[in-house]
Structure 1
Amino acid sequence: MKKLRPVDLAREHGISPQAVRNYEREGLIPSAERTASGYRVYTEVHAAALRALLMLVTAHGYPAAREIMREATAGRLDAALTAIDRSHTQLLRDRETLTVVSAGVAHLTGAPATESGSGSAPPERGQALSIGRLAGRLGVTAATLRNWESAGIVAPQRLATGHRAYSAQDVRDAELAHLLRRGGYRLEVIATVVQQLRTAGGTQSLAAALEDWQRRLTARGTAMLDAAGRLAGYLAVLERG
């Protein structure tokens, strides 16, 4: 099997040899053999691992990619696949959230939604969610919801007990905030967009944000397909050994 140096692996991806060594130290690619003088010797197995890792980072983000590669490299395939499943589930939730928000925009502007499909519907009129239920629905903490309230993104009513009650509109605004936060938007930007949605006026910023996030979802989904192929290739090479 062809022998490779750290610089050989690094050059292919435009990264430093130290980055390759760091990935090895973290268990993201297999351990290298050493020469008598202590130099690392890599092979095509390591090259395939690095290709898979960097594609997984693009598709799933670094934390998920790190977990996937650690488990796969350690031979714990089911654990690696479970991590991939979680990432796909999050992508699906993002798509469903986008559908809900787009439908709300379409209702206000008369424009078609940016994506077809059905997402999780907000509560019916007259119903309200507690902060705990809404946090669980979104997969965030109650502290996050309180931060969004401080930023003017959500405005729940206060019951006589002092507890917060989130209406259907509050849930919609929170879903939108959750979506845009994952898109990298700052709280002050999200607050402006939500206010535009509430007042049903000046929704160009909202439409642009949704279109941008739609493109990001498509790019992430495509990257996941590419990453799956890279990972499958790595596992095949690893099995041949």
Structure 2
Amino acid sequence: MRPIDLAREHGLSAQAIRNYDAAGILPPADRSDTGYRRYAPLHAQALRAFLALRGGHGHERATEIMRATHRGDIESAYRLIDATHAALQAERATRADVATALGSLSVADATSVPDRPLTVGELAHRLGVHPATLRTWETEGILCPGRDRATGYRQYGPDTVRDAEIARQLRRGGYPLPQVAKFLVALHEAGGAEALATFLDAWQDRLTTRSRALLAGAAQLDHYLTLRESPR
């Protein structure tokens, strides 16, 4: 087969096939007497495997997996695949933590937020915690108070007070400080609880799509490995 023959199946250009060949994504190809590349069914399956792997692993890691496979270092290829699965599992756990934290918030417990900045003592009294607790939350990235220009004292505006009240609820629910900070970051990025719920649904869809892509990539790579191991 010629480069264009491999390319046609996937709607690619012949140059793209040459680039993949040069990058080590395809196994070494024979050359005709005139110097043209000649590909076999093994190369066609290598291309299918790479394109499927790319959907779940990304271009760079899929390339690394194919290069490791071609040099016979299957253990390294498996490690690269495992690393992607581990990262996806960690992301899935993060999404679950944020979703659980969102469900733990009680609207009934929320009180009206003051329209003026509060001092450390005022906010601590409002929440029923020690002022040192608020400073710890600041260190952990949960709260970001402003500062009075004249005195340099901390000032907790309405948004920060709301974050503090959310943090208090989550802490009462047993959430460790890193998870509380993670939740508030997600809440800010999404633009509020309602937007966060929509964001979480979209996040779950992305995770599901990537999981399916990883399965498809594994299937195509397994077929490619079977062809490589078969007697010629």
The TM-score range, normalised by the shorter chain, is 0.5 to 0.7
Contact 1:156–1:170 at 8 Å: present in 2 too? no
Contact 1:67–1:80 at 8 Å: present in 2 too? yes
**Selected match of 2:226 from 227, 236, 239:** 236
Which residue does the alignment assign to 1:211? 201
Going from structure 1 to structure 2, the CA distance change for 1:12 and 1:170 (only over 3 Å counts) comes to same
TM-score of the pair, normalised by structure 2: 0.68
Q: Which has the higher contact order (CA 8 A, sep 6+)?
A: 2
Which residue does the alignment assign to 2:4? 7
Aligned-pair distance for 1:191?
3.8
Quote the Cα distance in structure 2 between the aligned partners of 1:176 and 1:27.
Answer: 44
**Counterparts in 2 of 1:27-46, with a 5 A limit?**
27-46=24-43
Q: Which has the larger radius of gyration?
A: 2
Aligned-pair distance for 1:31?
1.5
Going from structure 1 to structure 2, the CA distance change for 1:171 and 1:48 (only over 3 Å counts) comes to same
Quote the Cα distance in structure 1 between the aligned partners of 2:229 and 2:136.
Answer: 53
Unaligned runs of 5+ in 2: 108-132, 146-166, 168-175
Quote the Cα distance in structure 1 between the aligned partners of 2:203 and 2:137.
Answer: 27
Runs (4 or more) in structure 1 with deviation over 4 Å come to: 126-131, 154-157, 167-171
Quote the Cα distance in structure 2 between the aligned partners of 1:155 and 1:130.
Answer: 5
**Selected match of 1:220 from 210, 213, 217:** 210
Which residue does the alignment assign to 2:182? 174
Contact 2:138–2:144 at 8 Å: present in 1 too? no
Matched, 1:71 2:79: no
Which residue does the alignment assign to 2:104? 107
Q: Which amino acid aligns with 1:238?
A: R
**Counterparts in 2 of 1:118-157, with a 5 A limit?**
155=143
Quote the Cα distance in structure 2 between the aligned partners of 1:129 and 1:66.
Answer: 43
Quote the Cα distance in structure 2 between the aligned partners of 1:175 and 1:7.
Answer: 50
Contact 2:101–2:183 at 8 Å: present in 1 too? no
Matched, 1:93 2:94: no
Indicate the percent of aligned positions where both proteins have the same amino acid. Answer: 37
TM-score of the pair, normalised by structure 1: 0.65
Q: How many pairs does the alignment contain?
A: 178
Which residue does the alignment assign to 2:154? none
Quote the Cα distance in structure 1 between the aligned partners of 2:184 and 2:39.
Answer: 46
Which residue does the alignment assign to 1:51? 48
Quote the Cα distance in structure 2 between the aligned partners of 1:100 and 1:37.
Answer: 61
Quote the Cα distance in structure 1 between the aligned partners of 2:99 and 2:43.
Answer: 44
Secondary structure in structure 2 of the residue aligned to 1:36 = coil
Aligned-pair distance for 1:208?
1.0
Contact 2:3–2:37 at 8 Å: present in 1 too? yes
Aligned-pair distance for 1:169?
5.6
Quote the Cα distance in structure 2 between the aligned partners of 1:13 and 1:209.
Answer: 33
Quote the Cα distance in structure 1 between the aligned partners of 2:137 and 2:66.
Answer: 39
Quote the Cα distance in structure 2 between the aligned partners of 1:105 and 1:224.
Answer: 29
